[in-house]
Amino acid sequence: MGLMQKAVETYDCHWDYVGRYRSGHTVLAPVSHIVTRADIEIILNAQGEFLSASAVGKDEAKIVIPATESSAGRTSGVCAHPLCDQLCYLADYHREKHMDYLTKLEKWVQSQDSHPKLRPILTYVRGGSILADLQQCGLVKRNDQGVLEDEGKAGKLLVRWRVMGLDDGAPEACWEDTSLMDAFIRFYGLECGNGPKCLCMVTGQEGRRAQQHPKGIIAVNGNAKLISSNDTSNFTYLGRFTSEEQTAQISYEASQKAHNALRWLAAEQGVVFGGRTFLCWNPQGHKVASIAGAFAHLAKPVHKPTEYRQELQRTLQGYQSQLPQSAGVMIAAFDAATSGRLSLTYYNELTGSDFLQRLYDWDNACCWPVNSYERPSISFGIQSPPLLQIVNCAFGTQREEKGKARLITDDRVMRQQMQRLIACRIDRGRFSWDVVEALFHRASSLLAYENSVRGVLLSTACAVIRKYYLDRFKEEWSMILEPDKRDRSYQFGRLLAVLEKAERDTYRNDESREPNAVRQQSTFCRRPLYAANIIESQLERAYFPKLPVGYRMFYKKLIGEIMGQIAQFPEEEWNQPLKETYLMGYYLQRSALYSHKDGENDETMEEKNHDESAE
């Protein structure tokens, strides 16, 4: 019941928002009300006479309407809302639905909790002219017999009411009048006051037991219920109980508050990945960091690891000043396996300090310098890849989107993998090897991807590998090139970058041409020494002769230094398949060759070439 308890707490902490419309926000529905979208607005005067009607724009906000426990969860049965409803209930062509609507509205009008806006609406609906009025306004069409055309669609149009000329100081719009909302809450509370009581397992207080629970927590799964009812046949209660009273009992008020709060949270800040909705919130309304995005939003690129950690620390302190250490943070994920069942696929509660520390630790471990693949000298600084980017790079398919190649993941895979990564980040779990392996293989087959994808794929793979080694082996890999790194795969990665850059320098004006190092990358991973010898022989034969002397000397010297590092390992290991760490050596060496900060830059080599030619 942790989720329901925190949802009720959230509702109570945001009581000021209940029934209040705010621009750009979803309204928090009161108890005994639902939030829905209206299609038609009808304006009446105080005597219940028709004034005008208009279509409600699709861009207009959803509204709050009164609803009974049964009408809020209705599907195919007849069960009218007490005030605002569909045309099939307001017009008299469907007798059973129309009479059910009139009966409920009349009972409310005649009660002690009636409201001045109700009688004009009841008078108008009784008059039976609603279809003719709407037809005259061009909102519906009827045939010669007075029957609605496209009855199935037109009958589902929901009508909202506006009553003018009452001079009571309240808003004319029924959906904005909080006194009308309060009147229905009182009326419905007395109407159902004699219902069965229970000890609520959410609040711990006695109250009227909820017979049904609301639907529509998640907008995309409108009919799915988090707590569903069951029948009394076949596999009822899965053989564990003989009646519904023996299961978890929740009071009507707690159920209404919890479901309305969750619906409001999902609409306000829910993030959807692959059809699964993720929530992260504090019940008191304190600001919390994103569970899927980068922890620190850097104002400018940060290139040094020490500066990156300092920025993370400043971000942590900023969030801590807004979120008290003892404040709770709730993380939940919802998904609907069927149209009628909503599942809670993940839930966790953390203190504010623990939650922020875990996000900080993740971004401090899973990060890497991001450079442009086409022009590695252009650096975007050290970044932590968003979880969505990790999933797309590991499991996505390359597609054209707005003229640019992108990696896009199927929804079924996206929802599962995003939840795994969120759980790993929030629960401090070890990074799964299958994600690392997928990134390793994809980043080792760059020829299959466009240049716009390669840079993202490489930097993401390196960031994930860095975190994996820290999780599994407590080994922290530097984000700065280490020429003397005692790792065979790392040194072979450096070698691959040098072989690639040397060939690219021979045809600088032909960016579309792929060097042999990229073409042979997959072979290089499996048999590095074999592939390196082939690529180097091609350089000696076809490319080095075209390079200036200074360039040739620089690359040959660098290749010799790297081979010297590799020679320190046993000879039988030289041609063994490379580990994923070769990507870090490849990435950092490649960036260094383009950055004009490490080794000799182009101007230095041009000067050396000029001096040697002069001699």
- 588-601 pLDDT per residue, tens: 999 999 885 444 44
The predicted pLDDT at position 237 comes to 66
Q: What is the largest CA-CA distance in the chain?
A: 110
326/315 Cα distance (integer angstroms):
19
Q: Among residues 389, 370, 386, which one has the least CA distance to residue 378?
A: 370
Backbone angles phi, psi at 343, to 5 degrees: -105, 145
Q: Which of 297, 319, 318, 322 lies closest to 308, judged by CA? A: 297
**Residue 572: strand, helix, or coil:** helix
- DSSP label at 219? G
- Pick the closest to residue 224 from 1, 347, 73 (CA basis): 73
Q: Of the candidates 245, 241, 244, 220, which has an alpha carbon nearest to the alpha carbon of residue 334?
A: 220
Angle in degrees, 0-180, between the axes of helices 451-473 and 352-365, rounded to the nearest 10 = 120
Backbone dihedral angles phi then psi of residue 126, each to the nearest 5 degrees:
-60, -30
Q: pLDDT at position 614, please?
A: 40
Phi, psi of 368 (to 5 degrees): -170, 150
* Residue 426: alpha-carbon gap to chain centroid: 15
pLDDT at 234: 61
> How far are the Cα atoms of 399, 400, 406, 450, 458 from residue 403, in angstroms, in the given order?
10, 6, 10, 12, 21
Please give the structure tokens belonging to residue 284. 């008191």
The Cα-based distances of 39 to 57, 86, 158, 606 in angstroms read 8, 9, 5, 72
**Residue 233: predicted pLDDT:** 64
Judged by DSSP in three states, 591 sits in: helix
Contacts of 314 (CB under 8 A, 6+ apart): 296
**In this structure, which amino acid lies at residue 419?**
Q
Contact between 258 and 12 under an 8 Å Cβ cutoff? The reply is no
Residues near 547 by beta carbon (within 8 Å), at least 6 away in sequence: 502, 505, 506, 555
* Confidence at residue 603, expressed as pLDDT on a 0 to 100 scale: 46
Q: Are 393 and 442 in contact (CB under 8 A)?
A: yes
Strand-strand pairing, 341-351 and 159-163 = unpaired
Are residues 264 and 26 in contact, defined by beta-carbon separation less than 8 angstroms?
yes
Nearest to 211 by CA among 198, 221, 202: 198
| Burial state string for 60-99 with b = 16 or more CB within 10 A and e = fewer than 16 | ebbbbbbbbbebbbbeeebbbbbbbbbbbbbbbbbeebbe
SS3 for 539-567 is HHHHHHHHCCHHHHHHHHHHHHHHHHHHC
Report the C-alpha gap between 53 and 138 in whole angstroms: 9
Q: What is the pLDDT of residue 145?
A: 77
CA distance 371 to 381: 7
Strand partners, 64: 35
Partner residues linked to 333 by β-bridges: 278, 346
pLDDT at 608: 46
Question: Residue 24: CB partners within 8 Å, gap ≥ 6?
Answer: none
CB-based contacts of 558: which residues, under 8 Å, 6+ apart? Answer: 498, 599
Q: At what angle do helices 433-443 and 387-395 cross, to 10 degrees?
A: 60
Tell me the two tokens of residue 161: 């009411």
C-alpha R_g of the chain: 33
Burial 545-574 (b: 16+ CB within 10 A, else e): eebbebbbbbbbebbeebbebbeeeeeeeb
- Token couple for 124: 């108008």
Residue of 30, 75, 69 lying closest to 251 (CA atoms):
69
Taking the C-alpha atoms of residue 592 and residue 599, their distance in angstroms, rounded to an integer, is 7
Mean per-residue pLDDT pooled into runs of 10, the chain (615 residues): 93 96 94 96 97 95 95 87 96 94 97 97 96 95 84 93 92 96 96 90 93 89 81 64 79 96 96 96 95 91 95 95 93 91 95 97 97 90 97 97 93 97 96 97 96 96 98 95 97 98 86 90 97 96 93 95 97 96 98 67 47 41
Q: Name the residue type at position 326.
A: S
* Residue among 206, 179, 158 at smallest CA distance from 40: 158
What is the structure's pLDDT at 238?
A: 67
